[in-house]
Amino acid sequence: MESTLSHYFGFDTFRPGQKEIITKVMNHQNVLGVLPTGGGKSICYQVPGLMLGGTTIVISPLISLMKDQVDQLKATGIRAAYLNSSLTKKEQQTIETQLKQGELQFLYVAPERFDNGYFVHLLQQISIHLVAFDEAHCISKWGHDFRPSYQEVIDKVFALPQDFTVVALTATATAEVQRDIMARLNIDKQDEIKTSTKRPNLVFQVNPTYQRQKFVLEYVTHHDKEAGIIYCSTRKQVEELHEALIEQDVNSTIYHAGLSNKEREAAQNDFVYDRVRVVVATNAFGMGIDKSNVRFVIHYNMPGDLESYYQEAGRAGRDGLKSECILLFSERDIGLHQYFISSSKADDDYKDKMGEKLTKMMFYTKTKKCLEATLVHYFEPNEKLTECGQCSNCTQGNKTYDMTHEAKMIISCIARMNQQENYSVIIQVLRGEETDYIRYCDYNTLSTHGIMKNYTTSELSHLIDELRFKGYLNEHDEILTCDTSVKALLNDQVSIFTTPFKPKSKEVVSINTVEGVDRVLFDELIQVRKRLSEDLGIAPVSIFSDYTIEEFAKRKPESKQDMISIDGVGSYKLKHYCPKFLDTIQTYKAKI
């Protein structure tokens, strides 16, 4: 096993989880592998495929992903090919002949290829010992990238006459999605291999800025030696941001589904081969991109779920070096995703599930807890959590409330319970509540029953969460237990701090607001917009919305630099529209 790894791939040792997965495959056990993005999933079918012989069939979702994998295998002397719509008829025939003659060690295909009767007949005649489902989350309806064809192909695969093993691999599958994959592929629970989703070299940040374009331009300028991906929700945003980057002389390209195949391939190659250092893209870009030195991934908009976010952000730092994953968040992003869900033609169950995923995505943008631990907990609720110490929440320095005393009370209560319990029961006992269950367990007789009766349920949940995210409490199937590290806490060797959660009754709140809208100036700017509209033949609100005009009339910007910080002003509008508005503002200010 190690000799195959070393000979073909140049590694002396396996990464976590790889050897366990390969061992199960070699023992002819169907297996699901859940490894983090960049964790080396392809090795998990490539090594056993080489050892077992015959042709390994790899079911893959994207043409670009197939091409990258095949190119890498060929570069190591392995006979590999793909069959997809990008090939000419003659090229497909050549590969089919190679397949028939047993010349291919790996064949990559999309699930739709199994709709071709000739292809299926061809497969029935060759030696197949292993079938791999790459990006296996596409199988599950509850996955973030569900593809019906991935489900439909399963029966066709299992109908093949050969005695083969199945390996399914993914990086972004919740516990629910994992169960669905295993049920559909006949994988036993004990044949699931999971490693932590932690990527210690990734620094996660959430930035709720309203000046997104300004942030991106400044960030990219300050990181002018680094390669990065900037994800936008719409093609229009991609093109506008790219134009702004070009104006800043940033060597960049764009990628979205509105481009031709040739244009998309050129953009991808330019990025991979370092001809450009930044790509601005929709989520159509990235899966299978073989570029390990992406130093930053910026999300210009909030994705609709944490699976999508983690997979896209995880394209940073695959070489193990420090990289940044930055999410620029605005409340407006929520409305867009709510519209997508409500206008979907999916059934109500699916819409409800997508709504739940959106809620958890929103929670990520607002939580004060460690961002890395939040992601880990989402994908694997039973994993022991620790704070990363480097995300934007961990470094914010806003945990000023000393909760050491409360932590001791909570831990003492949990330790005294005669069986392990979940959050809600622990909170009920701490608050001194009397339920049939609490009386049945005699929890109402504990000295800690009601010890925190003056705290609300949400406050206690906040405190327990803090202990969980710091690793003092562990969770398994929603049951909380004390970690061995609580000894240091109980022995007064450590103190625990959290974000303040109790309202301060006489707190003085200082609010700095921009002056109100100058209605006289507002009316003048509306007239400027009207004249521009007539000259250009476009609707007034396409130039600037009333909201943006109000911001002009509030802030009275004096320069383009002032204007670019106002929501609704992009680089194109800054160049073509703003000068007339600036002239009017300057003339108005000179009169008052």
How far, CA to CA in Å, does 150 sit from each of 62, 97, 138, 286, 582?
12, 26, 6, 20, 55
Choosing from 194, 211, 235, the residue where a domain stops is 194
| pLDDT value of position 301 | 92
Q: Indicate if 207 and 186 belong to the same structural domain.
A: no
Is residue 503 in some structural domain?
no
Secondary structure (3-state) at 559:
coil
- Token readout for 182 is 């295993």
Query: Residue 91's domain is classified under what CATH number?
Result: 3.40.50.300
Least Cα distance to 566 among 551, 556, 576, 585 occurs for 551
By the 8 A CB rule, do 197 and 310 touch? yes
Query: Looking at the domain assignment, is residue 120 inside a domain?
Result: yes
Q: Check whether residue 188 and residue 207 sit in a common domain.
A: no
Which DSSP helix (H) or strand (E) runs through 497? Answer: strand 497-498
**Structural domain tally of the chain?**
4
In terms of domains, do 8 and 134 share one? Answer: yes
Q: From 373, 385, 379, select the one nearest 474 (Cα to Cα).
A: 385
**What span, in angstroms and rounded, lies between the C-alpha atoms of 246 and 60?**
35
The verdict on 481 and 526 lying in the same domain is no
Q: Which of residues 194, 227, 261 is at a domain's end?
A: 194
Q: Does 44 share its domain with 68? A: yes
Check residue 453 and report its DSSP letter. T
Task: Please give the pLDDT value at position 426.
Answer: 93
So what's the pLDDT on residue 288? 58
Measure the CA–CA gap between 311 and 65, rounded to whole angstroms: 14
Q: How far is it, in rounded angstroms, from Cα 438 to Cα 428?
A: 8
Q: What Cα–Cα distance (Å) separates residue 81 from each residue in 15, 58, 66, 109?
A: 26, 10, 8, 9
**Is-contact 253 581, C-beta < 8 A?**
no
Pick from 183, 170, 208: nearest CA to 59: 170
Asked, for residue 58, whether it belongs to a domain, the answer is: yes
The reported pLDDT for the residue numbered 172 is: 80
For residue 523, count other CB atoms closer than 10 A to its CB.
Answer: 11
Same domain, 212 and 325: yes
What would the DSSP string read from start to end of 171-217?
S---HHHHHHHHHHTT--GGGEEE-----TTEEEEEE--S-HHHHHH
Residues 393/370, Cβ–Cβ less than 8 Å: yes
Give the residue from 498, 532, 560 where a domain finishes.
Answer: 498
Structure tokens at 57: 């069939």
HSE value, Cβ hemisphere, 13 Å, CA-based, for 4: 15
Long-range CB pairs of 196-199 (<8 Å, 24+ gap) are: 196/16, 196/36, 196/376, 196/380, 196/383, 197/36, 197/171, 197/310, 197/375, 197/376, 197/379, 197/380, 197/383, 198/36, 198/372, 198/376, 199/36, 199/37, 199/38, 199/314, 199/317, 199/372
Q: Within this chain, do residues 296 and 445 fall inside the same structural domain, yes or no? A: no
Q: Is residue 512 part of a domain?
A: no
CB 281 within 8 A of CB 256: yes
Q: Which residue in this structure is represented by tokens 């110490």?
A: 389
Confidence (pLDDT) at 574: 84
Which is nearest to 177 in space by CA: 214, 131, 205, 135? 135
Give the CATH number, domain containing residue 583: 1.10.150.80
Tell me the HSE value of 298 on the side-chain side, using a 13 A CA sphere.
Answer: 23
CATH classification of the domain holding 426: 1.10.10.10
Classify residue 221: in a domain, yes or no: yes
Q: Could you tell me the residue range of the domain that residue 190 belongs to?
A: 2-194
* pLDDT attached to residue 130: 96
CA dihedral 336, 338, 342, 345 (to 10 degrees): 70
From the CA atom positions of the chain, what is the Rg in Å? 28
Inside any domain, residue 297:
yes
Per-residue confidence in pLDDT tens, the chain, 592 aa: 888 888 787 778 898 899 999 999 999 999 999 988 766 888 999 999 999 999 999 998 877 678 778 888 887 789 999 988 888 889 889 999 999 889 999 999 989 999 989 999 999 999 999 999 998 998 988 877 788 888 899 999 999 999 999 999 998 888 888 999 999 999 999 999 988 888 999 999 999 888 999 999 999 999 988 999 999 988 999 999 999 999 999 999 999 888 888 888 888 888 888 899 999 998 878 665 667 789 999 999 999 999 889 989 988 988 889 999 999 988 888 888 888 888 878 777 878 888 888 989 999 999 999 999 999 999 888 889 999 999 999 998 888 999 999 999 999 999 998 778 888 899 999 999 988 889 999 999 999 999 999 998 889 999 999 999 999 999 988 889 999 999 999 999 999 999 887 544 333 333 333 346 788 898 899 999 989 888 888 777 778 887 788 888 888 888 887 887 777 777 668 888 899 999 999 998 888 6
**266 and 307 in one domain?**
yes
Q: Are 243 and 361 members of one domain?
A: yes
Residue 506 lies in a domain: no
Residues 282 and 134 in one domain: no
pLDDT number for residue 512: 32
Does one domain contain both 184 and 260? no
HEC string of 9-67 equals HCCCCCCCCHHHHHHHHHCCCCEEEECCCCCCCCHHHHHHHHHHCCCEEEECCCHHHHH
Q: How far is CA 512 from CA 282, 396, 509, 516, in A?
A: 36, 21, 10, 12
Strands, sheet with 479-482, edge to edge from the N-terminal-most edge strand = 421-422, 479-482, 473-476
Task: Please indicate, yes or no, whether residues 61 and 145 belong to a single structural domain of this protein.
Answer: yes
